[in-house]
């Protein structure tokens, strides 16, 4: 076992959350919080300085870059620190982009402190830790790939849930209106529904998109 501490960066836009994470983590031997970031952009910049082993990253920062985008930017660099997502969101619309962006682990903020510290050590070692609800959902997607929505289909449904028309969704995602209709048609088939409203309701109920 090495005596070298695991150096952490806390990235969250809420000072109280950062303080809580620091209080938990700094009581653990071998863990040291060396920096904090209140925005995703600041986290990306700080993570490049070479003295961070694990970034604890929230997903939503109010404005600007998202946590998933910051994760992609951080992990794209050679020798990058590991990124452990620590958030309140566990829908497919949140977990899939984060994992695809290169996150090593995904934990929810209601996790027990022992689980948090264990996840940090696991991430530092390059291994994956997933919150049980996230792991269950990913396993279900693997078991039933035909029923799983793609990332793009989820993006379309999220915008539909926000009240956007097909034309507005197309403009937002840089697609044709016909492509949006095709995505929606596949969503209807996979979810066993026949309308936009039913698709949004069903996707929300089973955790594919977030309740607003």
CA distance to 26, 53, 102, per residue, from 153 (Å): 41, 34, 21
pLDDT digits (tens, 9 = 90+) for 1-42: 457 899 999 999 999 999 999 999 999 999 999 999 999 999
Identify the structural domains of the chain with CATH numbers, from first to last. Answer: 6-140 (3.40.50.2300), 145-205 (1.10.10.10)
- How far apart are alpha carbons 116 and 66 in whole angstroms? 22
pLDDT of 212 > 60? The answer is: no
Q: 105 near 122, Cβ under 8 Å?
A: yes
pLDDT digits (tens, 9 = 90+) for 30-79: 999 999 999 999 999 999 999 999 999 999 898 889 999 999 999 999 88
When pLDDT is averaged across residues 132-161 and rounded to a whole number, the result is: 76
pLDDT of 123 > 80? The answer is: yes
Compute the half-sphere exposure of residue 170: CA atoms within 13 Å on the CB side of its CA. 12
For 70, other C-beta atoms within 10 Å of its C-beta total: 29
For 114, other C-beta atoms within 10 Å of its C-beta total: 10
pLDDT value, residue 143: 57
pLDDT value, residue 139: 67
When pLDDT is averaged across residues 138-164 and rounded to a whole number, the result is: 78
- How far apart are alpha carbons 208 and 154 in whole angstroms? 7
Compute the half-sphere exposure of residue 118: CA atoms within 13 Å on the CB side of its CA. 9
User: Lowest-pLDDT range, 40-49, 57-66, 157-166, 199-208?
Assistant: 199-208
Phi, psi of 84 (to 5 degrees): -110, 115
When pLDDT is averaged across residues 93-119 and rounded to a whole number, the result is: 89
CA distance to 1, 25, 162, 194, per residue, from 10 (Å): 24, 10, 31, 44
pLDDT value, residue 54: 97
């Amino acid at each position: 076992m090495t005596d070298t501490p695991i150096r952490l960066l806390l990235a969250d836009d809420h000072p109280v959350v950062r303080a809580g994470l620091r209080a938990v983590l700094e009581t653990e031997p071998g863990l040291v919080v060396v920096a904090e970031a209140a925005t995703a952009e600041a986290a990306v910049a700080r993570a490049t300085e070479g003295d961070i082993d694990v970034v604890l990253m929230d997903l939503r920062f109010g404005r600007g870059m998202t946590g998933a985008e910051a994760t992609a930017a951080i992990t794209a660099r050679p020798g990058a620190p590991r990124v452990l997502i620590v958030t309140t969101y566990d829908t497919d619309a949140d977990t899939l982009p984060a994992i695809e962006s290169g996150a090593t682990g995904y934990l929810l903020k209601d996790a027990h402190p022992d689980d948090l510290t264990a996840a940090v050590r696991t991430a530092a070692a390059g291994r994956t830790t997933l919150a049980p609800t996230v792991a269950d959902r990913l396993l279900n997607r693997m078991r039933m790939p035909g029923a799983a929505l793609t990332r793009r289909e989820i993006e379309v449904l999220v915008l539909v849930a926000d009240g956007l028309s097909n034309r507005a969704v197309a403009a937002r995602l840089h697609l044709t209106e016909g492509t949006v209709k095709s995505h929606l048609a596949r969503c209807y088939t996979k979810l066993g529904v026949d309308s936009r409203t039913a698709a949004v309701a069903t996707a929300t109920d089973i955790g594919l998109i977030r309740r607003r």
